[in-house]
Amino acid sequence: MEKKQIKRALISVYHKDKLDLIVKKLHEEGVTFLSTGGTQTFIESLGIPCEAVEDLTSYPSILGGRVKTLHPKVFGGILARREEESDLSQLSEYEIPEIDLVIVDLYPFEETVAIGADESNVIEKIDIGGISLIRAAAKNYKDVVILASKAQYAPFLELIEQNGAVTTQEERRWFAKEAFAVSSHYDAAIFNYFDGEKESAFRYTANNSKQLRYGENPHQKGLFFGNFNEMFEQLQGKEISYNNLLDIDAAVNLINDFEDITFAILKHNNACGLASRDTLKEAWEAALDGDPISAFGGVLITNAVVDKETADEINKLFFEVIIAPDYDLDALEVLSQKKNRIILVLEDYKLPQKQFRSVLNGVLMQDRDTYLETEDELKVVTEKAPTEEEIEDLLFANIIVKHSKSNAIVLAKGKQLIASGVGQTSRVDALKHAIEKAMSFNFDLNGAVMASDAFFPFPDCVEIASAAGIKAVIQPGGSVKDEDSIAVCNEKGLSMVMTGIRHFKH
């Protein structure tokens, strides 16, 4: 690989943490510096000489700082092809020095938008000079090194400490690739700000690529793009897999909808056990009772701090992942006995409001389903109204069915998931599956409630539910045969409420 010596560096940055280490090492290697404003002052404060860009260009910073480095004497020194005699001749003719290293970062555009700044302040945070320097240096990676963010400080420092102020083309190309990742992310953020809610084009970028063991199956390659550590602290356990991440995502979305102390057990993105109780241990025991067979190898999540008493019970089960806002130390000692267990602390993090997935040769995008029905919104459509206890169970079951794969039916009683039928091709099959499962674990369905993620096209589900002992039903409504289902409820003595909100999930 062709090696290049760094002789002159242009540095203009906001983030200066550990920049001193780079500057000092480069100075030791005989590198000279070119800079602007605060960065020039910073370099000189280290006792290292630094030429001002204004002295090179013979132009001051103008237009309130909007124009500093946009000059042929800067960009010519970056873009000149060292192997082209004509380029070198022009550098000599116009007295343009070669620039071999560019260290620059960008105005904090996303951060300014995030704090709700007014448009004039947001616009001023659209970087012009910095983004131009990044693109120029990255384009000419055969001759120039580009550091486009503080994330590149550490690898570059390691490189020059090992090799001095010399780089290979392979190394320069890697830094160029990282630089284009920075610039493309920055431009996507600016576009999305201007586009607003119009959503005229799909622009989404995510950094921090993480290679997974495999995808859904061992023969598929799997990657995760994003900052997992912003949401979770992994206390121990093996590498998180593609399927783990899907279950973790489903678990977090589910638990976020509960306020009472709740424990949930998930398999293949669906809750197989879930309960809300006064204590965590009681919630765990009731959740496990819902389906102790499916719980094996599942993903566990709770919205309460895990104590030792609960941990002792959880420890009896083989599971893949446990997620909680925190753990008592003695509880952690119990749970960490099996080293492959993935133990996660869920940080206080707000999930994005948009969801998207690849479909065919494009992308589907939608708003995240954050809607939660309340008691005041329930429309009683039968002669018999549900009791207060039944209303609590109906709302409880409705949350679970919202997070279950369609077609979905959920049976609940006493704030406990008794059984569910999920991912079925017919709603009748989903109900029959749920009833069969509940009976296999000896649950008494008398007084239980039923939730459906969509309307009943025929009254057969209500008839089957009534025969099983179910006393109250919650569903969106909207079928042309709603009156038939209501009539069966009245005939059988069931209460039914409609929400007007469908919760399909694929």
For the annotated catalytic residues, the residue numbers are 139, 268
Q: Which two tokens stand for residue 382?
A: 């039968």
Name the residue type at position 142: K
3-state secondary structure of 302: strand
Helix (H, G, I), strand (E, B) or coil at 368: coil
| Longest Cα–Cα distance in the chain | 98
Look up tokens 């005699």; give the residue. 85
CB 404 within 8 A of CB 266: no
Residues facing residue 419 across a β-bridge = 411
Q: Are the C-beta atoms of 51 and 97 separated by less than 8 Å?
A: no
Are 193 and 125 within 8 A, CB to CB?
no
Helix (H, G, I), strand (E, B) or coil at 367: strand
Which residue do the tokens 């370099």 mark? 43
Q: Which amino acid is at 28?
A: E
For residue 389, give the H/E element and its range. helix 388-402
**Residue 70: partners with Cβ closer than 8 Å, 6 or more residues away:** 128, 129, 132
Rg (alpha carbons) of the chain, rounded to whole number: 31
Which residues on adjacent β-strands are paired with residue 321?
A: 299, 342
Amino acid symbol at 73: K
Contacts with 226 (C-beta within 8 Å, 6 or more apart), sequence order: 206, 207, 208
* 187 Cβ contact list (under 8 Å, min separation 6): 131
Q: Tokens standing for 94?
A: 């116009």
- Asked if 185 contacts 51 with a C-beta cutoff of 8 angstroms, the reply is no
Q: What is the DSSP secondary-structure string of 394-462?
A: HHHHHHHHHTSPSS-EEEESSSBEEEEE-S-SSHHHHHHHHHHHHHHTT---TT-EEEESS--SSTHHH
Amino acid found at 302: T
CA 33 – CA 39 distance, rounded (Å): 11
Contact yes or no for 383/490 (Cβ under 8 A) = yes
Alpha-carbon gap, residue 309 to 222, rounded angstroms: 37
How distant, in Å, are the alpha carbons of 155, 251, 311, 317, 492 from that of 332? 35, 20, 8, 15, 50
